[in-house]
Amino acid sequence: MHRLTAELKRPSELTPAEREAWIAFTDDNAALASPYFRIEFAECCEEVRSDTRIIVGRVGGQVRGFLPLQLGRIGYARPIGGPLGDVHGLIVPPDAESDPRDFLRAAGVPLFEFHSAIGVTQGWREYGRCQDGAWICDVSDGFDAYLETRKMFSPGAMRNYRKRLRRLEAEEGGFAFQLDDASPKNLDSMIRMKRSQYKQTGIFDVFSVGWTQALLAALLRRRSDRFQGQCATLSINNEVVAIHVGMASERQLHYWFPAYNPAFSHVSPGILLLMELIRWSAAEGLAGVDLGPGDYRYKAELGCYQMPLWSGCVMTQSAPTMLRGAAQALAGRAEKLPIGRLGSLPRRALRKADKLASFYAW
Protein backbone atom coordinates (compact mmCIF):
# COMPACT_ATOMS: atom_id res chain seq x y z
CA MET A 1 0.00 0.00 0.00
CA HIS A 2 1.42 3.37 -1.01
CA ARG A 3 1.76 6.06 1.64
CA LEU A 4 1.19 9.76 1.18
CA THR A 5 4.20 11.82 0.15
CA ALA A 6 4.23 15.59 -0.06
CA GLU A 7 6.23 18.61 -1.06
CA LEU A 8 5.91 22.31 -0.36
CA LYS A 9 5.58 24.61 -3.35
CA ARG A 10 4.77 28.19 -4.06
CA PRO A 11 1.57 28.57 -6.10
CA SER A 12 3.64 29.83 -9.04
CA GLU A 13 5.67 26.60 -8.94
CA LEU A 14 2.73 24.26 -9.53
CA THR A 15 3.00 22.27 -12.74
CA PRO A 16 0.28 22.33 -15.40
CA ALA A 17 -0.77 18.83 -14.30
CA GLU A 18 -1.03 19.95 -10.67
CA ARG A 19 -3.09 22.98 -11.64
CA GLU A 20 -5.43 20.77 -13.65
CA ALA A 21 -5.84 18.47 -10.63
CA TRP A 22 -6.62 21.47 -8.39
CA ILE A 23 -9.31 22.69 -10.78
CA ALA A 24 -10.76 19.19 -11.15
CA PHE A 25 -10.99 18.73 -7.37
CA THR A 26 -12.79 22.06 -6.84
CA ASP A 27 -15.10 21.43 -9.80
CA ASP A 28 -16.13 18.03 -8.43
CA ASN A 29 -16.38 18.89 -4.72
CA ALA A 30 -19.44 20.99 -3.85
CA ALA A 31 -17.99 21.71 -0.41
CA LEU A 32 -15.23 23.73 -2.08
CA ALA A 33 -17.51 26.36 -3.62
CA SER A 34 -15.85 29.33 -1.89
CA PRO A 35 -13.46 31.57 -3.83
CA TYR A 36 -10.98 30.92 -1.02
CA PHE A 37 -10.43 27.50 -2.61
CA ARG A 38 -9.62 28.84 -6.07
CA ILE A 39 -6.02 28.81 -7.24
CA GLU A 40 -6.28 32.50 -8.11
CA PHE A 41 -6.70 33.36 -4.42
CA ALA A 42 -3.51 31.45 -3.59
CA GLU A 43 -1.65 33.25 -6.37
CA CYS A 44 -2.76 36.64 -5.03
CA CYS A 45 -1.56 35.67 -1.56
CA GLU A 46 1.81 34.79 -3.04
CA GLU A 47 2.01 38.26 -4.59
CA VAL A 48 1.86 39.93 -1.17
CA ARG A 49 3.30 37.32 1.22
CA SER A 50 6.52 35.45 0.53
CA ASP A 51 5.57 32.69 3.01
CA THR A 52 2.66 31.42 0.89
CA ARG A 53 3.01 27.70 0.24
CA ILE A 54 0.96 24.76 -1.05
CA ILE A 55 1.38 21.23 0.27
CA VAL A 56 1.01 18.94 -2.73
CA GLY A 57 0.10 15.44 -1.56
CA ARG A 58 0.65 12.34 -3.70
CA VAL A 59 -0.01 8.63 -3.37
CA GLY A 60 1.82 6.38 -5.79
CA GLY A 61 2.83 9.40 -7.82
CA GLN A 62 -0.75 10.60 -8.31
CA VAL A 63 -1.88 13.95 -6.90
CA ARG A 64 -4.36 13.34 -4.08
CA GLY A 65 -4.83 16.80 -2.66
CA PHE A 66 -3.55 20.24 -1.73
CA LEU A 67 -3.33 22.22 1.51
CA PRO A 68 -2.65 25.96 1.03
CA LEU A 69 -1.02 27.69 3.98
CA GLN A 70 1.23 30.44 5.30
CA LEU A 71 4.49 28.97 6.58
CA GLY A 72 5.42 31.10 9.58
CA ARG A 73 8.96 32.04 10.46
CA ILE A 74 8.82 30.77 14.05
CA GLY A 75 8.20 27.22 12.94
CA TYR A 76 4.51 26.65 12.45
CA ALA A 77 1.90 27.26 9.79
CA ARG A 78 -1.49 28.93 9.53
CA PRO A 79 -4.19 28.82 6.84
CA ILE A 80 -3.63 30.70 3.62
CA GLY A 81 -4.57 34.34 3.94
CA GLY A 82 -3.73 34.27 7.65
CA PRO A 83 -6.42 35.98 9.76
CA LEU A 84 -8.21 37.16 6.61
CA GLY A 85 -9.02 33.56 5.71
CA ASP A 86 -12.68 33.06 6.61
CA VAL A 87 -12.79 29.48 5.33
CA HIS A 88 -10.14 26.95 4.39
CA GLY A 89 -9.33 23.26 4.24
CA LEU A 90 -7.95 20.43 2.15
CA ILE A 91 -8.56 20.63 -1.58
CA VAL A 92 -9.41 17.02 -2.39
CA PRO A 93 -12.01 15.02 -4.35
CA PRO A 94 -15.41 14.71 -2.63
CA ASP A 95 -14.98 11.02 -1.76
CA ALA A 96 -11.39 11.28 -0.52
CA GLU A 97 -10.57 9.98 2.96
CA SER A 98 -7.99 12.59 3.90
CA ASP A 99 -6.35 13.53 7.18
CA PRO A 100 -4.67 16.97 7.30
CA ARG A 101 -2.07 15.57 9.68
CA ASP A 102 -0.85 13.18 6.97
CA PHE A 103 -0.30 16.11 4.60
CA LEU A 104 1.49 18.19 7.24
CA ARG A 105 3.67 15.34 8.49
CA ALA A 106 4.71 14.35 4.98
CA ALA A 107 5.65 17.96 4.23
CA GLY A 108 7.62 18.37 7.47
CA VAL A 109 5.32 21.01 8.99
CA PRO A 110 5.36 20.54 12.80
CA LEU A 111 2.25 22.53 13.73
CA PHE A 112 -0.78 23.96 11.94
CA GLU A 113 -2.94 26.39 13.91
CA PHE A 114 -6.23 26.59 12.07
CA HIS A 115 -9.48 28.50 12.27
CA SER A 116 -12.58 28.23 10.12
CA ALA A 117 -11.70 24.85 8.63
CA ILE A 118 -14.70 23.70 6.65
CA GLY A 119 -16.55 21.21 8.80
CA VAL A 120 -18.39 19.31 6.08
CA THR A 121 -15.13 17.82 4.83
CA GLN A 122 -13.29 15.01 6.55
CA GLY A 123 -10.38 15.26 8.94
CA TRP A 124 -10.72 18.51 10.88
CA ARG A 125 -13.11 17.57 13.67
CA GLU A 126 -10.56 15.31 15.34
CA TYR A 127 -8.23 18.28 15.87
CA GLY A 128 -10.88 20.93 16.56
CA ARG A 129 -11.21 22.77 19.87
CA CYS A 130 -14.32 24.78 19.06
CA GLN A 131 -16.93 25.06 16.36
CA ASP A 132 -18.45 28.08 14.66
CA GLY A 133 -20.57 28.51 11.55
CA ALA A 134 -20.65 30.64 8.43
CA TRP A 135 -24.07 31.95 7.41
CA ILE A 136 -25.00 31.04 3.82
CA CYS A 137 -27.68 32.73 1.71
CA ASP A 138 -29.06 30.03 -0.58
CA VAL A 139 -29.96 31.59 -3.95
CA SER A 140 -29.82 28.39 -6.01
CA ASP A 141 -33.53 28.76 -6.86
CA GLY A 142 -33.30 32.47 -7.70
CA PHE A 143 -33.68 35.74 -5.84
CA ASP A 144 -37.48 35.69 -5.65
CA ALA A 145 -37.45 32.24 -4.07
CA TYR A 146 -34.81 33.42 -1.62
CA LEU A 147 -36.96 36.39 -0.61
CA GLU A 148 -40.01 34.17 -0.10
CA THR A 149 -38.01 31.88 2.16
CA ARG A 150 -36.71 34.77 4.22
CA LYS A 151 -40.26 36.19 4.54
CA MET A 152 -41.24 32.92 6.19
CA PHE A 153 -38.33 32.74 8.63
CA SER A 154 -37.42 36.44 9.07
CA PRO A 155 -40.60 38.41 8.34
CA GLY A 156 -39.49 41.43 10.36
CA ALA A 157 -36.21 41.72 8.49
CA MET A 158 -37.96 41.59 5.13
CA ARG A 159 -40.48 44.23 6.19
CA ASN A 160 -37.61 46.48 7.24
CA TYR A 161 -35.90 45.86 3.91
CA ARG A 162 -38.97 46.94 1.95
CA LYS A 163 -39.43 49.94 4.26
CA ARG A 164 -35.85 51.07 3.59
CA LEU A 165 -36.40 50.81 -0.14
CA ARG A 166 -39.56 52.96 0.06
CA ARG A 167 -37.88 55.53 2.30
CA LEU A 168 -34.89 55.79 -0.01
CA GLU A 169 -37.14 56.23 -3.03
CA ALA A 170 -39.20 58.91 -1.30
CA GLU A 171 -36.35 60.88 0.27
CA GLU A 172 -33.55 60.51 -2.22
CA GLY A 173 -35.11 59.29 -5.46
CA GLY A 174 -33.67 55.80 -5.25
CA PHE A 175 -30.12 54.49 -5.51
CA ALA A 176 -27.62 53.16 -8.05
CA PHE A 177 -25.86 49.81 -7.65
CA GLN A 178 -22.61 49.09 -9.49
CA LEU A 179 -20.76 45.80 -9.22
CA ASP A 180 -17.44 46.39 -10.99
CA ASP A 181 -16.42 49.72 -9.52
CA ALA A 182 -12.87 48.81 -8.54
CA SER A 183 -11.26 52.21 -8.78
CA PRO A 184 -8.37 52.96 -6.37
CA LYS A 185 -10.53 55.74 -4.94
CA ASN A 186 -13.29 53.30 -3.91
CA LEU A 187 -10.83 50.83 -2.41
CA ASP A 188 -9.17 53.63 -0.45
CA SER A 189 -12.57 54.89 0.72
CA MET A 190 -13.59 51.46 1.96
CA ILE A 191 -10.32 51.05 3.85
CA ARG A 192 -10.63 54.52 5.37
CA MET A 193 -14.19 53.88 6.58
CA LYS A 194 -13.26 50.42 7.87
CA ARG A 195 -10.24 51.73 9.78
CA SER A 196 -12.44 54.37 11.40
CA GLN A 197 -14.86 51.63 12.45
CA TYR A 198 -12.03 49.52 13.90
CA LYS A 199 -10.79 52.52 15.92
CA GLN A 200 -14.25 53.29 17.29
CA THR A 201 -14.96 49.69 18.29
CA GLY A 202 -11.48 48.85 19.59
CA ILE A 203 -11.01 46.01 17.11
CA PHE A 204 -7.50 45.38 15.77
CA ASP A 205 -6.98 47.38 12.58
CA VAL A 206 -6.26 44.72 9.98
CA PHE A 207 -5.30 47.41 7.47
CA SER A 208 -2.48 48.67 9.69
CA VAL A 209 -0.49 45.79 8.18
CA GLY A 210 0.67 46.53 4.66
CA TRP A 211 0.09 43.14 3.05
CA THR A 212 -3.65 43.17 3.81
CA GLN A 213 -4.25 46.24 1.65
CA ALA A 214 -1.97 44.85 -1.04
CA LEU A 215 -3.93 41.59 -1.04
CA LEU A 216 -7.23 43.34 -1.73
CA ALA A 217 -5.64 45.33 -4.55
CA ALA A 218 -4.22 42.12 -6.05
CA LEU A 219 -7.59 40.36 -5.83
CA LEU A 220 -9.35 43.22 -7.59
CA ARG A 221 -6.94 42.82 -10.51
CA ARG A 222 -7.77 39.15 -10.96
CA ARG A 223 -10.54 37.79 -13.13
CA SER A 224 -11.08 34.37 -14.71
CA ASP A 225 -14.01 32.05 -15.43
CA ARG A 226 -13.66 30.64 -11.89
CA PHE A 227 -12.68 33.70 -9.86
CA GLN A 228 -13.13 37.44 -9.63
CA GLY A 229 -12.28 40.11 -7.11
CA GLN A 230 -15.14 42.55 -6.64
CA CYS A 231 -15.65 46.13 -5.54
CA ALA A 232 -19.36 46.98 -5.46
CA THR A 233 -20.87 50.36 -4.64
CA LEU A 234 -24.23 51.84 -3.76
CA SER A 235 -24.72 55.51 -4.63
CA ILE A 236 -27.35 58.07 -3.68
CA ASN A 237 -27.56 61.24 -5.77
CA ASN A 238 -24.24 60.30 -7.43
CA GLU A 239 -22.49 59.98 -4.04
CA VAL A 240 -21.04 56.62 -3.06
CA VAL A 241 -22.47 55.81 0.38
CA ALA A 242 -21.66 52.10 0.73
CA ILE A 243 -18.82 49.95 -0.60
CA HIS A 244 -18.14 46.24 -0.47
CA VAL A 245 -14.84 44.60 -1.41
CA GLY A 246 -15.02 40.83 -1.73
CA MET A 247 -14.60 38.01 -4.20
CA ALA A 248 -16.58 35.34 -5.99
CA SER A 249 -16.03 31.97 -7.56
CA GLU A 250 -18.21 30.56 -10.29
CA ARG A 251 -20.46 29.14 -7.53
CA GLN A 252 -20.33 31.43 -4.53
CA LEU A 253 -19.84 35.07 -3.54
CA HIS A 254 -17.93 35.77 -0.35
CA TYR A 255 -19.18 38.81 1.58
CA TRP A 256 -15.98 40.21 3.07
CA PHE A 257 -15.29 43.91 3.68
CA PRO A 258 -18.41 46.13 3.74
CA ALA A 259 -18.35 49.79 4.78
CA TYR A 260 -20.80 52.66 4.61
CA ASN A 261 -21.10 56.38 5.29
CA PRO A 262 -22.68 56.79 8.77
CA ALA A 263 -24.44 59.96 7.59
CA PHE A 264 -26.82 57.72 5.62
CA SER A 265 -27.39 55.13 8.35
CA HIS A 266 -31.11 56.02 8.47
CA VAL A 267 -31.61 54.16 5.17
CA SER A 268 -29.19 51.28 6.04
CA PRO A 269 -27.08 51.51 2.86
CA GLY A 270 -24.93 48.57 3.91
CA ILE A 271 -27.92 46.20 4.05
CA LEU A 272 -29.27 47.54 0.75
CA LEU A 273 -25.90 46.93 -0.90
CA LEU A 274 -25.78 43.40 0.52
CA MET A 275 -29.26 42.67 -0.84
CA GLU A 276 -28.15 43.88 -4.28
CA LEU A 277 -25.15 41.56 -4.10
CA ILE A 278 -27.46 38.67 -3.23
CA ARG A 279 -29.71 39.64 -6.16
CA TRP A 280 -26.70 39.76 -8.51
CA SER A 281 -25.46 36.35 -7.30
CA ALA A 282 -28.83 34.77 -8.05
CA ALA A 283 -28.98 36.38 -11.49
CA GLU A 284 -25.50 35.09 -12.33
CA GLY A 285 -26.47 31.54 -11.41
CA LEU A 286 -24.37 31.29 -8.26
CA ALA A 287 -25.57 28.90 -5.59
CA GLY A 288 -25.02 31.11 -2.58
CA VAL A 289 -23.53 34.06 -0.73
CA ASP A 290 -21.24 33.34 2.22
CA LEU A 291 -21.73 35.97 4.93
CA GLY A 292 -18.95 34.48 7.03
CA PRO A 293 -19.03 33.60 10.73
CA GLY A 294 -20.02 35.99 13.47
CA ASP A 295 -22.84 36.65 15.89
CA TYR A 296 -24.51 39.44 13.93
CA ARG A 297 -28.25 39.84 13.76
CA TYR A 298 -28.35 40.58 10.04
CA LYS A 299 -26.47 37.37 9.25
CA ALA A 300 -28.98 35.26 11.16
CA GLU A 301 -31.87 37.11 9.48
CA LEU A 302 -30.55 36.95 5.92
CA GLY A 303 -28.69 33.63 6.07
CA CYS A 304 -30.53 30.41 5.25
CA TYR A 305 -28.28 27.98 7.11
CA GLN A 306 -24.85 27.72 8.73
CA MET A 307 -21.88 25.83 7.35
CA PRO A 308 -19.88 24.35 10.26
CA LEU A 309 -16.34 25.63 10.78
CA TRP A 310 -13.72 24.19 13.11
CA SER A 311 -10.83 25.87 14.92
CA GLY A 312 -7.97 23.98 16.48
CA CYS A 313 -4.44 22.73 16.05
CA VAL A 314 -2.72 19.85 14.28
CA MET A 315 0.69 18.76 15.61
CA THR A 316 2.97 16.33 13.79
CA GLN A 317 5.79 16.31 16.37
CA SER A 318 5.78 15.63 20.08
CA ALA A 319 4.64 18.65 22.08
CA PRO A 320 7.93 19.09 24.04
CA THR A 321 10.06 19.02 20.89
CA MET A 322 7.80 21.40 19.03
CA LEU A 323 7.43 23.83 21.93
CA ARG A 324 11.19 24.03 22.56
CA GLY A 325 11.81 25.04 18.96
CA ALA A 326 8.94 27.49 18.87
CA ALA A 327 9.92 29.07 22.19
CA GLN A 328 13.49 29.65 21.06
CA ALA A 329 12.29 31.29 17.86
CA LEU A 330 9.67 33.35 19.66
CA ALA A 331 12.19 34.67 22.19
CA GLY A 332 14.23 36.24 19.42
CA ARG A 333 11.22 38.09 18.00
CA ALA A 334 9.07 38.86 21.03
CA GLU A 335 10.29 42.40 21.58
CA LYS A 336 9.38 43.35 18.00
CA LEU A 337 5.68 43.03 18.74
CA PRO A 338 3.85 46.32 19.29
CA ILE A 339 2.70 45.16 22.74
CA GLY A 340 6.11 44.90 24.42
CA ARG A 341 7.76 41.98 26.17
CA LEU A 342 5.86 38.69 26.36
CA GLY A 343 7.30 37.33 29.58
CA SER A 344 5.31 39.58 31.89
CA LEU A 345 2.03 39.64 29.94
CA PRO A 346 -1.22 37.98 31.02
CA ARG A 347 -2.93 35.33 28.93
CA ARG A 348 -5.17 37.87 27.16
CA ALA A 349 -2.11 39.73 25.90
CA LEU A 350 -0.52 36.47 24.79
CA ARG A 351 -3.60 35.76 22.68
CA LYS A 352 -3.18 39.22 21.19
CA ALA A 353 0.47 38.44 20.51
CA ASP A 354 -0.50 35.30 18.64
CA LYS A 355 -2.98 37.22 16.53
CA LEU A 356 -0.43 39.90 15.77
CA ALA A 357 2.09 37.24 14.85
CA SER A 358 -0.31 35.87 12.28
CA PHE A 359 -0.73 39.32 10.73
CA TYR A 360 2.99 40.03 10.79
CA ALA A 361 3.77 36.69 9.05
CA TRP A 362 5.81 35.09 11.82
Q: Quick check: 29 and 64 in contact, CB under 8 A? A: no
Encode 101-124: b = buried (16+ Cβ within 10 Å), e = exposed.
bbbbbbbebbbbbbbbbbbebbbb
pLDDT band at 359 (very low <50, low <70, confident <90, very high): low
φ, ψ of residue 24 to 5 degrees: the values are: -65, -40
Cα–Cα nearest to 106, from 229, 2, 4: 4
Where would I find the H helices in the chain? 16-28, 39-48, 100-107, 143-153, 155-172, 184-201, 210-220, 269-283, 297-302, 319-333, 347-359
Asked if 157 and 275 count as a contact pair (C-beta separation under 8 A), the reply is no
Task: Give the pLDDT of residue 334.
Answer: 43
| CATH T-level topology, domain 156-301 | Aminopeptidase (3.40.630)
Count the alpha carbons within 13 Å of 151 in the hemisphere toward its beta carbon: 8
**310 phi, psi to nearest 5 deg:** -115, 145
C-alpha 225, offset from chain centre: 20
pLDDT tens digits, one per residue of 266-298: 889 999 999 999 999 999 999 999 999 988 999
On average, the pLDDT of the chain sits at: 88
Domain boundaries, the chain: 4-135+308-359, 156-301
Q: What is the pLDDT of residues 131-168, one digit of tens each?
A: 899 999 999 999 999 999 999 999 999 999 998 888 88
Percent of the chain with pLDDT over 70: 86
Q: Do domains 4-135+308-359 and 156-301 have the same CATH topology?
A: yes
Mean pLDDT of the region 204-209: 93
Count of C-beta atoms within a 10 Å radius of residue 89: 29
Q: Which pTM value belongs to this model?
A: 0.89
Instruction: Report d(CA 359, CA 181) in Å as an integer.
Output: 28
Q: Options 1.10.287, 3.40.630, 3.10.450, 3.30.70; which CATH number does 4-135+308-359 get?
A: 3.40.630
Query: What was the pLDDT predicted at 341?
Result: 44
Residue 362 pLDDT level (bands cut at 50, 70, 90): low
What CA–CA distance (Å, rounded) separates 340 from 9?
34
Residue 324, pLDDT > 60, answer no
Question: Does the structure show a pLDDT above 90 at 311?
Answer: yes
Residue 58: is its pLDDT beyond 80? yes
Binning pLDDT at 50, 70 and 90, where does residue 332 land?
A: very low
> How does residue 196 score in pLDDT terms, banded at 50, 70 and 90?
very high
Give the DSSP letter of residue 12: G
Distance CA 357, CA 355 (A): 5
Spatial distance between the Cα atoms of 93 and 22, rounded to a whole number of angstroms: 9
Strand partners, 282: none
Length of the chain in terms of residues written: 362
Cα(223)–Cα(71) distance, rounded to whole angstroms? 26
